Amino acid sequence: MHGLGTIVNCLAIIIGSAVGVLIKGGLAKRFEETIFSAVGLAVMFIGLGGALSGFLTIKDGVLGTQYTMMMVLSLVLGAVVGELLDIEKGLDHLGGWIKGKMPKKLAGNTFVDGFVTASVLFCVGAMAIVGSLEDGLNGNYTTLFAKSVLDGITSVLLASSLGIGVAMSAFPLLVYQGGITLLAQVLRPLLSDMLISQMSCIGSILIVAIGINMLFGKKVKVGNLLPAIFFPILFALLKSVFPSLPV
C-alpha cells in the first residue's frame, strides 16, 4: 500500500504529542523551559550534522567544501520566493485557524508556535524526501518507519513544552510527504543521489535555524526559507543544459 509510511509517520506524531501534552500537565514551568532548551540544542546539532556531512569533503587528507555556491543561491533565492509568498504568515494563519476551532483550554497560548515549529521540522529533513520516494516507487516503508520513531520521540519532547499544536503538524506532513509519494514516478528520474543529497543539506541548514529559534526566540523566518530546498532541482536542470555552470 503506497502511502502507508506517511500514515504511520502522522500517527506517531499524534500519539507522541498526546503523551507530551500529558507530561506537560504535570511539569513545573522551569522543567518545561529546560526541556525546550534541550530539544532546541538537539535539533540544532542534528541539523549541523546533516549539513556538515553533505557540504564537507576530505580529498587527499585535505578538508574542503562542496556545493557552496548552490547552497548560497538556494538560500537567497528561496528566501526571496518565500518572502513573496509569505509562507511563514500562511502557516501562522493556518495554525491560528485550527486553534480557533479547538477549545481554548486545550489549545493554550503556544499552539501556533508548536504547529509551525513542528510542521517545518518534520518536513524538511532528508528522510522525508527519500522515504516518500521509496514509498511511492516500490512500497518500501523502512525509511519512513524509522522517521516515525524519531518524529514520535521528538513530538513528545516538543509537545511537553509547546502543547497540542505539535500534533496538528501531522496534517501538513500528510500533504507534503503524501504529495511526494504520489508524484514519485514523475519526480524520481529528476532526482539523482547527488541532487537528493544537496536538497537534504539545504534542509539540514533549515533545521539548524529551527534550533536557533527554539534557543534564542524567533530570529529566522524558517517557513519563508522552505522554497530553498527545491532550488537544487532548478540548478541541476540548468547544469544539464549548460555544463560549464559553476553551480
pLDDT at 26: 65
How many whole angstroms separate alpha carbon 54 and alpha carbon 152?
Answer: 25
Residue 15 — very low, low, confident or very high, per pLDDT cuts 50/70/90? very high
How many whole angstroms separate alpha carbon 113 and alpha carbon 71?
Answer: 27
pLDDT at 105: 67
Task: Report the candidate in 47, 42, 39 with the shortest Cα–Cα distance to residue 113.
Answer: 39
How many whole angstroms separate alpha carbon 130 and alpha carbon 138?
Answer: 12
Task: Report the candidate in 206, 123, 118, 120 with the shortest Cα–Cα distance to residue 166.
Answer: 118
How many whole angstroms separate alpha carbon 18 and alpha carbon 26?
Answer: 13
Average pLDDT of the residues in 214-228? 85
Report pTM: 0.79
Residue type for position 99: K
What does the CA dihedral 22, 31, 154, 213 come to, rounded to 10 degrees?
130
Q: Which residues contact 30 (CB under 8 A, 6 or more apart)?
A: none
**pLDDT (tens digit per residue) in 107-117:** 677 888 889 88
Q: What is the DSSP letter of 236?
A: H
Q: What is the DSSP letter of 149?
A: H
Residue 87 grid coordinates: 509562507
End-to-end CA distance of the chain: 38
Q: Which residue has the higher pLDDT, 53 or 174?
A: 174
